[in-house]
Amino acid sequence: MRRLHLQSKVDNWLTYGLVIFAYIVIRILIASGNISSALQGQLVPITAYIVMAVSLNLTVGVLGELSLGHAGFMSVGAFSGVITATLLTNAIPMSWLRLALAMLIGAIIAGIFGFLIGIPVMRLQGDYLAIVTLAFGEIIKNVINVIYIGYDTNGIRVSMKNTSALRLDEGGKVILNGPMGAVGITKLSSFTAGFILILITLFIVLNLINSRAGRAIKAVRDDKIAAESVGISTWRYRMMAFVTSATLAGAAGALYALNYSTVVARKFDFNTSILILVFVVLGRMGNIRGSIIAATVLTVLPEVLRAFNEVRMLVYAIILILVMLIRNNTPLQRLLQIIGIRRRNNNLSTVEEGDDA
């Protein structure tokens, strides 16, 4: 038990170390001008995606429930974060504090949504649970598409018709413009802010996993009935993992949205949820470091594949299929072992612990 404890500790420090190391390397690259502008523009989205992947891993890998609507929480966080940041423009001049508050509010509101959607979700299992999270993501997208929010000297105005129905005074400003999304956002996000958010996320998730509650969550994943019979409240621990996951996604959403001047609800659709799920599965479920690496590699990959120009997304799809085939096909794995590409014992143990979830 003590050895296990030590092992997980070393493992966690490795994860922190990797993130800090990557941050320093990229800072040096930026300072020496050795990084392409396209890649530099991807830095904040990459950090947001890493937080998304780590938080989804909590639901999919640690709790063992498939969520197809994680981008929905990102959306909630993104738009509440943008609204917070815009409303506080005059009150708080420091942009870092505004960003921090926007992420905090985004996280809290996404957490509340996580709890509300968790009530029906926790009654279901398996594919039925997955479809409800999918439905939730689509509902969020559609509802944000018909909401108009603006503010003027008299305060905030909300409408579901159009911008003129807001009846703003002169000098009033539209924040959320229905299908056009949030417009006129002041860019607040920075790579450093993203880096700090990743560290906070890791701190929360890794500590949760290695705590009493985390062991309870894993017990629920491995056998719900057995867990319940030894007195673990399945509802409570499933909800805990789900809400934590939603909260972190909300913060990531705020970070992501405040990196652009406009953001539309369509950006956070089913495809985005799936994209993040791909990060989690490719990085191995339950493996936090894997999520970080997969999110980074798969976000950079389309940029690297730009050399292929038109066929790049096709190549991306083929790589995705091939990786899944190579990783999960037993005869193919045996072949790789014989050639010596994969170590025998290592391979078997990770397959069993990682993929049964």
Taking the complex as a whole, how short is the minimal distance between the CB of residue 33 and another protein, in angstroms?
A: 34
C-alpha distances (whole Å) from 157 to each of 6, 78, 169, 336 are 54, 19, 11, 62
The site string for another protein over 109-148 (x = CB under 8 A, - otherwise) reads -----------x--xxx-xx--xx-xxx-xx--xx-xx--
Residue 20 interacts with another protein (CB under 8 A)? no
Nearer to another protein, 14 or 321 (CB): 321
Selected from 54, 281, 288, 292, the binder of another protein by CB under 8 A is 281
Asked if 209 contacts 64 with a C-beta cutoff of 8 angstroms, the reply is no
Selected from 24, 304, 321, 341, the binder of another protein by CB under 8 A is 321
In the region spanning residues 251 to 270, those forming contacts with another protein, defined by CB under 8 A, are 270
Nearer to another protein, 300 or 332 (CB): 332
Nearest-angstrom CA–CA distance, 217 and 167 = 49
Asked if 63 contacts 133 with a C-beta cutoff of 8 angstroms, the reply is no
Angle of helix 126-144 relative to helix 95-121, nearest 10 degrees? 130
Please identify, among the stretches 6-14, 200-208, 288-296, 322-330, the one whose residues bind another protein according to the rule CB under 8 A: 322-330
Residue 330 interacts with another protein (CB under 8 A)? yes
Nearest-angstrom CA–CA distance, 259 and 144 = 19
Nearest-angstrom CA–CA distance, 169 and 155 = 10
Taking the complex as a whole, how short is the minimal distance between the CB of residue 135 and another protein, in angstroms?
A: 4
DSSP designation for 263:
B
| Residue of 52, 69, 70, 72 lying closest to 134 (CA atoms) | 69
Taking the complex as a whole, how short is the minimal distance between the CB of residue 84 and another protein, in angstroms?
A: 24
Residue 89 interacts with another protein (CB under 8 A)? no
Size of the site for another protein (CB under 8 A): 48
Selected from 97, 304, 311, 335, the binder of another protein by CB under 8 A is 311
Nearest-angstrom CA–CA distance, 267 and 244 = 22
- Give how far the C-alpha of residue 205 lies from the chain's centroid of Cα atoms, to the nearest Å: 12
234 exposed, middle or buried (CB, 10 Å; 0-12, 13-18, 19+)?
A: middle
Which positions lie near another protein, rule CB under 8 A? 60, 66, 120, 123-125, 127-128, 131-132, 134-136, 138-139, 142-143, 145-146, 179, 225-226, 270, 274, 277-278, 281-282, 285, 310-311, 313-314, 316-318, 320-321, 324-325, 327-330, 332, 355-357
